[in-house]
Structure 1
């Protein structure tokens, strides 16, 4: 289903149907031309690049939803006390949130081609597995540690976008 919706979003050629002699509709195979109604179609490599970018951005969105869910109690407390003061004293999440916002902005504007051409990627690609294991080990007792590990995994990846 995602392939079909992605092909519709990217204006790929659908299978044309032509009526048969007996009144039934037969599916005509897709033509090999590179245009459909005068609009050029995407190549398979461009389609694969779009899929990779979509998977990267979807994964980043899911990863960064975790700190948002963990900081929800502070947000609810701040919203309830908003009529008294606009400051949340002490705010335990600002130290984690500010770097994650900058990392998210760098990664959301990056594409997979830029990441794969980075010189730092072979070194940084060894980092997520040990971090995931230590996060599963140490964060089961204290959930606030998840943001530390998430920052430790995403900040080097953001450096791959820059360099």
Structure 2
């Protein structure tokens, strides 16, 4: 759901059409009536019709960058999980699927306090590291489970049947099977890719705070603080989210309609003003997290 709209032929035509229409006075007046912000792009006229090709090339370049960044992120998770397996043998797949636990709640409160007392970008970075650790642990656990399945194939089948029995039963909490863990891992990989861009776009604020740390401990004004306050609980929920709870959500169909408008909004309003991009990413993550409750 989170990455299916990252296709130029779905996003770019809408943006190009809006840019062209904004070159006409009547459409510009209609645009102002709805109090919509100005586009972060060159307006198209009949004398500048070569711009769509340039826009498409830039969009393809950005899509390729995101794609290869996703591959690099997945490879890094696998490498870190191998290191995790070498240092510590992980436990079995999670038996009980809990969206929030006491430890996660305490960690969320601590990160929010860090965001308020120091720098929002620092809290976002720490939240990102927490999420990466969670996914590395899940990858290591899944790898360990597959290795044990290769050694003893009969036991995992009984375990998976038992897991499916608990999944279908309403008297017991949901349990995670190997296939569910793989689906969840793919979902978390997409979340990491989106969250990476939020961290990168908030890095200038973090660097500025770090350079001036000798003068003040709390960054004020902090452009990343409002985002950190709402992003931290969202990531805490997504960190304990599995594909089982997402698939059974009634909100999933509604939430799946938002990525395309958000992608259009990023291209239309965040091309030059990049501070708007994390907000669009957060909306997508927040809607995804709501699937656990609706």
TM-score (norm 1): 0.75
Matches within 5 A, 1:124-139: 124-139=255-270
The equivalent of 2:154 in structure 1 is 34
Identify, as 1 or 2, the structure richer in helix.
2
* SS state at 1:13 partner: helix
Q: Distance in 2 between matches of 1:70 and 1:158?
A: 22
What RMSD in Å do the two structures reach over aligned CA positions?
Answer: 2.7
The equivalent of 1:55 in structure 2 is 186
* Cα pair 2:191 2:285 within 8 Å, conserved: no
* Cα pair 1:35 1:41 within 8 Å, conserved: yes
Per the TM alignment, residue 63 of structure 1 is displaced from its structure 2 partner at its CA by: 1.0
The equivalent of 1:81 in structure 2 is 212
Q: Deviations over 1:74-108 (max 9, x none)?
A: 11111111122101121111111221111111111
The equivalent of 1:111 in structure 2 is 242
Q: Deviations over 1:96-125 (max 9, x none)?
A: 122111111111111111011111111111
The equivalent of 2:149 in structure 1 is 12
Gaps (5+ residues) in structure 2?
Answer: 1-74, 83-138, 165-176
The equivalent of 2:292 in structure 1 is 161
Q: Alignment length, in residue pairs?
A: 141
Larger radius of gyration: 1
Gaps (5+ residues) in structure 1?
Answer: 15-30
The equivalent of 2:200 in structure 1 is 69
The equivalent of 1:146 in structure 2 is 277
